[in-house]
Structure 1
Amino acid sequence: MNRYCFQLQVKPDHIEAYKAAHAAVWPDMLEALADSGWHNYSLFLRPDGLLIGYVESDDLGAAQRAMAATEVNARWQRAMAEHFVDLDVPPDEGFISLTEVFNLEDQLAAVRQHGAQTNI
């Protein structure tokens, strides 16, 4: 399972509406995400509107294409589009991918497999 992280910017005057929408995501949207290969999916929102998303998937591109083929995703993206700064594509296509630079479990596994090394 691969880990993916991304960012978007929510308009400051839309933060409360965005939070409200995500407090009760449509059940058919939740099912579509799970069925499309989105796992351990979380969104984190800073008070200034910086949105960080985290998701695990075998292949995020394939998961996005599977979601794009659903009717519920089209409705959800239309409903969410107004909340974001400077997007001319649906939100699920406009996020900026972030590069993972550290993962505790990966490094621990490597150390345990190859023996501890000290960098002192």
Structure 2
Amino acid sequence: MTSTTTATRVCFQLHVDPDRVPEYLARHAPVWPEMLVEIAASGRRNYSLFLGDDGTLIGYYETDDDTAAQAYLAASPVAARWESEMAGFFVGLDGRPDQSAIALTEVFHLHDQLAAVSPTPSTESTRS
């Protein structure tokens, strides 16, 4: 059976204290195995973090239900412990990093735009 669920793409921004970037990187190489399991169990996949030299942190993941994924992690004792340890790395943050990040609006996605302009099979055959 084929799923018709479209994954939600989520991108967010945080700011790591530039003086703590090396320590932040060390804490993510590697992330606790039990935290990795919780992220996957929440329904998040294709999860990546990107960090600039100035501390700008951009995160990205895909999920079928972001509300459920957030609720799962909010209730997870492992995630609470991880987020508590990570909170001190961030500048201007109120609360847990995973619940206080600035959500970014998607303005372009190649696949979506290609799908919108690609010819349908019926229009392709009329061009021949």
TM-score (norm 1): 0.91
The alignment yields a C-alpha RMSD, in angstroms, of 1.4
Task: Supply the distance in 1 between the matched residues of 2:27 and 2:79 (Cα, whole angstroms).
Answer: 14
Q: Which aligned pairs between 1:48-67 and structure 2 lie closer than 5 A?
A: 48-67=54-73
Matching residue of 1:100: 106
1:4 matches 2:10:
yes
Match of residue 90 from structure 2: 84
Structure 2 runs not aligned, ≥5 long: 1-6, 124-128
SS at structure 1 position matched to 2:93: coil
Q: Distance in 2 between matches of 1:50 and 1:113?
A: 40
| 1:31-62 residue CA offsets vs partner (Å, 9 max, x unmatched) | 11001111100000000000000010112221
What SS does the corresponding residue of 1:23 show, helix, strand or coil? coil
Q: Give 1:113 shift.
A: 5.0
SS of 1:78's equivalent in the other structure is helix
Runs of 4+ in 1 over 4 A off after TM superposition: none
CA distance in 1, matches of 2:68, 2:19: 33
- Matched residue, 2:19: 13
- SS class of match (1:8): strand
Q: How many residues of Structure 1 are paired with residues of Structure 2 in the alignment?
A: 116
Q: Which amino acid aligns with 1:25?
A: V
The runs of 5 or more residues in structure 1 that have no matched partner are 116-120
Q: What does residue 76 of structure 2 align with?
A: 70
* Bigger-Rg structure (1/2): 2
Residue in 1 that maps onto 2:35: 29
